[in-house]
Chain A
Amino acid sequence: MTTTATNPVPARSRPLVDGAAAASRVLAKLRHDPAGIALTLAAPVMLVLVFGYIFGSAIAVPGSGDYREFLVPGLFVTIAFNLIPAMIAMARDSGRGVVDRFRSMPISRVAVPFGQAAATALYGLGCLLLMAACGLLVGWRIRTGIGPALGALGLLVAFQFAATWIGMFLGLVIRNEEAAGQLSVLVLPVGMLSNVFVPTAGMPAWLRTIADWNPVSAVTAAVRELCGNPTAPTNGAWPLEHPVLASLLWTALLLAVFVPLCTARYARPRD
């Protein structure tokens, strides 16, 4: 049978081309949604203003630090951990048959989620930079140097990349845009159960253990340390005593778990 003659598509896979196309799909959608971008950017700005000035007037940070300088690194991490857009986008693609179409095409099945995660991380980087500018306006400062600050940024981008994979995996499991939207309410407390807004020292012991071992706490502590911002007591918890190493380990662990889970789920023939 002369299948090769009638088959215009080379069977070999070209992951980079596929990934780039998938990434440009995500970025093209963003370009058409300036209102969505404005909203995504406005949320962290609001957080800085609301928490910085309302909580900041009442909460004292141990060690005579400024609350807003304590808070801003935590808000960076809250934004980096925002896996909701990735979850909703993947749930929508999955529910509407876009994923099925891609899966019926001769393209690399790993490259498509990778491209989407990369594009999401790129967008996240833009959000982080804008938020850093807002932080500088309300009194947050980098007290170390450009090297550690870039280290903090790298850590945040890596953490966000990992969180995106969690979001995409959840979206593939849920496969329904509305349900994913409703589930996003449950993601919020994960950010609250940490040292982002208040030091964990005052929490009940069981809650403190959870908060101390929350990856969000480790990354927050790492960013504070790298930028020379006020830090909270570590309560002797290992991740808070070695926040940079703990953040790297957490990021690696999340990627090691969710990249294979997500790609397998994306690629596997299902119902």
Chain B
Amino acid sequence: MTVAVVAEGLVRAYGPVRALDGLDLVVPRGSVCAVLGPNGAGKTTAIRVLATLTVPDAGRATVLGHDVVRDAALVRGSIGLAGQHAAVDDDLTGRENLEILGRMHHLGRREARRRAGELLDRFDLADAGDRLVKTWSGGMRRRLDLIASVVVAPPVLFLDEPTTGLDPRSRTEIWTTVRELVGAGTTVLLTTQYLEEADRLADDIVIIDGGKAVATGSPDVLKNSIGVRVDVLVETSGELAAAAAALAAYTGGDPEVDAAGLRISAPVVGTAVSVPGVVRTLDAAGVAVLDAGIRRPTLDEVFLHLVRPRHEEAAA
């Protein structure tokens, strides 16, 4: 495995707040890694350190083998960055935005112009290319921002919450763009607070909370890590309590009850379960089951399982 990005024990404090508190992560070359975490978990700080914009207090990080502090200039030659805000010039056209960045990347005037046209065509922004960016929609601007970070096709791309605040269609378009970039061999490290985004795009997910990684793995590994769940639908609300008690005994987990939906969902803890087993158990408890199923947890459930308890601890 060739490694593109490595972080070891990164620490960065702002006054009393430790935005990063010993973050470790490894991104293999050519893969997509999603850093997933709640607001304030340290996602943006992590990106800023890796993109040489912030110096860590402790720990070290490398991008393609270059140290982000000592060899910052070499790191900058290998990365593209799209931040949380669309860092494009509203007062310029889309084409001019890309051309100027191309010239700053020393492409030369003519090559910068050619590249800008090529990118606008390829990412379906050619029609709007000669309009001022301030007349563009939010989704188009973010796409331009994303494209602006690949004017020179950097081998490593950092995306800080690329779709936060976008409507579902624009989000899908950004995802398509990211997938195209990965198809071309680019390593992508993106942060997100959307589990679906991580699930759809990432080969590996690093869940961070309180400035450090609390879980790492592929979406499948993470889902399997907290086991399967049993979901049942009962007929009347009067049966909920009995059903929950029976399920708790059967699965060994603590069931969540959705009283309005007449649904109960219980994690399976250290035991084997089957659909007939669920039905028999509830039948024995005198509960009429309308629907029963065994499924893997969603990434949301994994996330809440890993992240929420810590906050409850902190609050207690």
Interface, chain A (partner B; CB < 8 A) = 1, 3, 6-11, 13-14, 17-18, 20-22, 24-25, 28-29, 32-33, 96-98, 100-107, 269-271
Contacts and interface: CB of A to CB of B under 8 A. Distances in A.
Interface of B: 2, 14, 48, 51-55, 64-66, 72-74, 76-79, 81, 83-89, 91-93, 96, 100-101, 103-106, 132, 148-149, 152-155
Given A7-B74, A8-B152, A32-B132, 6 more contacts: A29-B89, A100-B53, A105-B101, A105-B104, A106-B77, A269-B55
Contacts of A8: 152-154
Given A104-B53, A269-B52, A98 B103 contact: no
17 contacts: A6-B64, A11-B73, A17-B106, A21-B100, A21-B104, A25-B100, A28-B96, A97-B84, A98-B87, A100-B81, A101-B87, A102-B104, A104-B51, A105-B76, A105-B101, A270-B54, A271-B48
Contacts of A21: 100, 103-104
Nearest to B69: A269
B106 A10 contact: yes
A32 B92 contact: yes
B156 to A, nearest CB: 9
Contacts of B89: 25, 29, 98
Nearest to B97: A25
B105 A9 contact: yes
B98 to A, nearest CB: 12
Contacts of B77: 7, 9-11, 106
A269 B48 CA distance: 9
A132 B154 CA distance: 49
A271 B54 CA distance: 6
B64 A107 contact: no
A28 B92 contact: yes
A200 to B, nearest CB: 40
Given A17-B106, A32-B91, A32-B132, A104 B76 contact: yes
Given A3-B64, A7-B155, A17-B103, A103 B92 contact: no
B53 to A, nearest CB: 6
A26 to B, nearest CB: 10
Contacts of B79: 104
B207 to A, nearest CB: 24
Contact of A101 (B83, B103, B155): B83
Contacts of A6: 64, 78, 155
A100 B96 CA distance: 19
A105 B54 contact: no
Nearest to A29: B91
Given A32-B91, A105-B76, A269-B54, A97 B100 contact: no
A49 B19 CA distance: 56
A29 B72 CA distance: 30
Nearest to B66: A3
B87 A96 contact: yes
Given A1-B64, A96-B87, A100-B87, A24 B76 contact: no
B104 A107 contact: yes
A107 B78 CA distance: 12
Contacts of B154: 8-9
B83 A100 contact: yes
A103 B65 CA distance: 20
Contacts of A24: 100, 103
Contact of A11 (B53, B55, B74, B86): B74
B85 A97 contact: yes
- Give the most central of B14, B72, B77: most A CB within 10 Å: B77
B81 A101 contact: yes
Contact of B53 (A17, A29, A269): A269
A14 B51 CA distance: 21
User: Closest 6 interchain pairs by CB?
Assistant: A97-B87, A21-B103, A106-B77, A97-B83, A106-B76, A9-B77
Nearest to B148: A101
A207 B101 CA distance: 48
